Amino acid sequence: MSFAITPASRLNTLPEQFFAALAAKASARIALGHDVINLGQGNPDLPTPANIVDRMKAASDNPLYHKYPPFRGFPFLKEAVAKRYKEDYGVELDPVKEVAILFGGKTGLVEISQCLLNPGDVCLVPDPGYPDYWSGVALAGAEMSFMPLLAKNGFLPDYKALDPEAVKRAKLMFLNYPNNPTAATASREFYEETVAFARENGVVVASDFAYGALGFDDVKPISFLETPGAKEVGVEFYTLSKTYNMAGWRVGFALGNSQIVEMINLIQDHYYCSLFGGIQEAAAEALTGPQQSVEELVATYERRRNTLYDALASIGWHADKPAGSFFCWLPVPAGYTSMEFSDLLLEKADIVVAPGNGFGTSGEGYVRLGLLAPESRLREAAERIGRLGLHFRNEPAKAAQRST
């Protein structure tokens, strides 16, 4: 008789990895020898700045780092991120009580649901949104209630339109600006409304600020923690993945409310024993060393954005240029679903894009393109799409931008 292994039922609650199938389709096409332009993923294409890599090389010789690190990480890294927040956003953070070090933002985004949600609780989740929020809620055995992000509202949730029953049961909500996948940014007024909503309904706010450094046209994205009262109601997740092209290094932070930071530290005491000390030292170098690389990175993405949108406009695909993140959220031509259009681009133009419905039902009708290829490739992508002779419709009118 064979030995039967049955997974715990919680594994069956995990959402399907929608984009794994997309990556497989693209790989199959590359294996056939096609010259595929992959704009479907969110993996930064440029290298980590040299000062950070050099610091890591030197730090890896330090015998102190060959031992277990302190459970909750080295104080110097917490001080470094607090200093960066003070300089960039004017936000004061207590490095001991208001900072938790994470193995990348993704880890904290999954952990927070386990810290706060019981079975039967509700989590308010943006639709479309980053799928890892779903994973944490599923592992906690809780339920999701989606907050549609619509073009007419500037892709911000409309709190007044949410189901009052769901709001009553909600204990946590996720927000993410600059947004993946819509590339929208948030205003101060929206965050003020969010703090008021959170207080009134007893909902903790998890602000995912993964693209916080990426704002264009000289407008820097706002941190949720800049809002009066934000620390009372929530935390912000910050990551070095996008700001310093350090996606492979796995360094992130939970910042803000000390009670939630303590819960995240507590759960992590059981899961992990912090990051390799050399990585912590290199991460501190990223945060406290020269920041010119960040300015250059933002300028690169801005140039790519302009190149792509101008090239797309020249083939009749018009949309407003995004103000932040490295994504473009574009309406598909009439007559296609997101999936059909993504398949068409792959099969007829060797271009990979992410179908909007993979981020939630309100993502239907859109595709997401990443600005993660050189300008020449972005131009070529537009030319290939142009050769398909499609009829594009214009983007639905957005609501007037709220003041920042």
- Say whether residue 180 binds ligand PLP (CB under 6 A): yes
From 241, 293, 342, 357, residue interacting with ligand PLP (rule: CB under 6 A)? 241
From 78, 84, 106, 171, residue interacting with ligand PLP (rule: CB under 6 A)? 106
Shortest CA distance to 108 belongs to which of 16, 10, 240? 240
Count residues binding ligand PLP (CB under 6 A).
Answer: 13
Residue 181: CB minimum distance to ligand PLP, A: 8
Do 392 and 330 meet the contact criterion of CB atoms below 8 Å apart?
A: no
What is the per-residue binding string for ligand PLP in 16-55, x denoting contact by CB under 6 A?
--------------------------x-------------
**Where does this chain touch ligand PLP (CB under 6 A) — which range of 103-111, 281-289, 329-337, 365-373?**
103-111
**Where does this chain touch ligand PLP (CB under 6 A) — which range of 82-90, 99-107, 138-146, 283-291?**
99-107
| Measured distance CA(210)–CA(14) in Å, rounded | 23
Residue 104 or 360 having the CB closest to ligand PLP: 104
- Say whether residue 207 binds ligand PLP (CB under 6 A): no
Phi then psi for 12, rounded to 5 degrees? -75, -15
Record the tokens describing residue 78, joined without a space: 């917490």
- Say whether residue 247 binds ligand PLP (CB under 6 A): yes
From 49, 69, 73, 104, residue interacting with ligand PLP (rule: CB under 6 A)? 104
Q: Alpha carbon of 239 to those of 73, 82, 83, 279, 387: distances in Å?
A: 15, 13, 15, 13, 39
Do 145 and 360 meet the contact criterion of CB atoms below 8 Å apart?
A: no
Residue 105 or 331 having the CB closest to ligand PLP: 105
| C-alpha 2, offset from chain centre | 43
Residue 289: CB minimum distance to ligand PLP, A: 19
- Characterize the bridge pairing of strands 122-127 and 252-256: unpaired
Shortest CA distance to 397 belongs to which of 154, 181, 178, 147? 154
**Where does this chain touch ligand PLP (CB under 6 A) — which range of 101-109, 141-149, 265-273, 289-297?**
101-109
From 126, 136, 212, 252, residue interacting with ligand PLP (rule: CB under 6 A)? 252
| C-alpha 76, offset from chain centre | 26
Residue 362: CB minimum distance to ligand PLP, A: 16
What is the per-residue binding string for ligand PLP in 356-385, x denoting contact by CB under 6 A?
------------------------------
- Say whether residue 208 binds ligand PLP (CB under 6 A): yes
Do 154 and 184 meet the contact criterion of CB atoms below 8 Å apart?
A: yes
| Measured distance CA(304)–CA(70) in Å, rounded | 41
Residue 53 or 247 having the CB closest to ligand PLP: 247
Do 308 and 328 meet the contact criterion of CB atoms below 8 Å apart?
A: yes
Residue 151 or 246 having the CB closest to ligand PLP: 246
- Characterize the bridge pairing of strands 170-175 and 143-148: unpaired
Residue 106 or 377 having the CB closest to ligand PLP: 106
Residue 212 or 278 having the CB closest to ligand PLP: 212
Q: Scanning residues 59 to 78, which ones bind ligand PLP (CB under 6 A)?
A: none
| Measured distance CA(242)–CA(81) in Å, rounded | 15
Write the DSSP assignment of 252-306 as a string of letters.
EEEEE-HHHHHHHHHHHHHH-----HHHHHHHHHHHHS--HHHHHHHHHHHHHHH
Helix (H) or strand (E) holding 127: strand 122-127
From 85, 89, 130, 392, residue interacting with ligand PLP (rule: CB under 6 A)? 130
Residue 102 or 167 having the CB closest to ligand PLP: 102
Residues engaged in binding ligand PLP (CB under 6 A) = 42, 104-106, 130, 176, 180, 208, 210, 239, 241, 247, 252
